[in-house]
Amino acid sequence: MRVENKVTIITGAGSGIGREAAILFSKEGAKVVVADMNEKAGAEVVEEIKKNGGEAFFARLDVTNREQAKQVVRDTLARYGKVDVLINNAGIIQDALVLKMTEEQWDKVINVNLKGVFNCIQAVVEQMINQGSGVIINTSSIVALFGNIGQINYVASKAGLIGMTKTLSKELGKKGIRTNAVAPGFITTPMTVAVPDKILEMMKEKTPLRMLGEPKDVAYAYLYLASDEAKMVNGAVLSVDGGLVI
Ligand code: NAP
């Protein structure tokens, strides 16, 4: 029970890494708020958690909607009375080479991946300051550290999250709030399902551990950072990438 009774909001918890994290956290004793745009997928995650004897509820959340983000926090407080952990996991890709990228593609990815995280943090931070405790985990990416062809919008958003993480670790550390980032490498989820086999093989070759990541590999990193085992960890970027260099 590494996160026993910790009230944990996970954005994008209806799919992939967020789904795995929601289920893992509930097994480790957390009360989980499954926050996602997709009600059907989110409700399935809640059902799975309850089937295992865990505690969770679904909250509809489009992270670009500031009012919805505030409402999720209000609903969480009404139900559980506190917010211990916010995992900013929701994210999207809309890839194109720089010459071909549309303004819409740029804006959409920045809005969800970067401003969406800002919205959720602002919604929760006053409560965490009042509590004198809290953990914020931002989901960056290995591409934020190395760059990646065709992903100028995504890389900018994920590199921005590292800057936000380091800044908040300084602003909020003295209030008892830890902020860290996780930088996953290549993880097999619905986000990466369309990637051709040839590229998957190439990724494996480039990974010293010679394997692709699974959602639970990232979920365990979230779990560590959320737990009291990481009480001295603040402003860190934890890579979960098998040593991949792209
Ligand atoms: P995923 O399977 O596509 O899951 C992302 C979830 O976020 C989906 O449930 C999606 O809902 C939801 N979402 C999208 N836009 C949202 C919004 N505006 N508000 C709220 N929820 C929204 O992706 P994943 O692979 O698990 O990715 C999780 C995180 O890890 C993302 O931040 C991603 O950038 C990051 N990451 C992934 C990898 C990888 O290799 N998979 C690598 C590095 C970093 P819908 O399904 O309805 O769109």
Residue 116 CA, closest ligand 1 atom number: 18
Pocket of ligand 1 (CB under 6 A): 11-12, 14-18, 36-38, 41, 61-64, 89-92, 112, 116, 139, 141, 184, 186-187, 189-192
pLDDT of 60 above 90: yes
Per-residue pLDDT of 69-100, as tens digits, reads: 999 999 999 999 999 999 999 999 999 999 99
**What domains lie within the chain, and their CATH numbers?**
7-239 (3.40.50.720)
Q: What is the pLDDT of residues 160-191, one digit of tens each?
A: 999 999 999 999 999 999 999 999 999 999 99
Catalytic residue, from 80, 154, 220, 224: name it: 154
d(CA 192, CA 208): 20
What's the confidence (pLDDT) of residue 40? 98
**Is-catalytic flag, 224?**
no
The token pair that represents 77 in the structure block: 């407080």
**Distance between CA atoms of residues 48 and 46, nearest Å:** 5
How much distance in Å is there from the Cα of 16 to the middle of ligand 1?
7
Determine how many CB atoms are found less than 10 A away from the CB of residue 159: 17
Length of the chain: 246
- For the chain, what percent of residues have pLDDT higher than 70? 100
Q: What is the pLDDT of residues 95-151, one digit of tens each?
A: 999 999 999 999 999 999 999 999 999 999 999 999 999 999 999 999 999 999 999
Close Cβ partners of 173 (under 8 Å, ≥ 6 residues apart): 179, 234, 235
pLDDT in tens, 187-221: 999 999 999 999 999 999 999 999 999 999 999 99
Distance of CA 203 from the midpoint of ligand 1 (Å): 20
Which residue from 44, 87, 92, 142 has its CB within 8 A of the most atoms of ligand 1, so it is best to mutate?
A: 92
8-state DSSP, 230: G
Global pTM value: 0.99
DSSP state of 195: S
Please answer whether residues 141 and 181 qualify as being in contact, where contact means their C-beta atoms are separated by less than 8 angstroms.
no
Q: What integer pLDDT is reported at residue 246 of this predicted model?
A: 86
For a mutational test of ligand 1's pocket, the pick from 94, 191, 240, i.e. the residue with the most ligand atoms closer than 8 A to its C-beta, is 191
Residue 245: predicted pLDDT: 87
Q: Which is nearest to 157 in space by CA: 112, 203, 127? A: 112
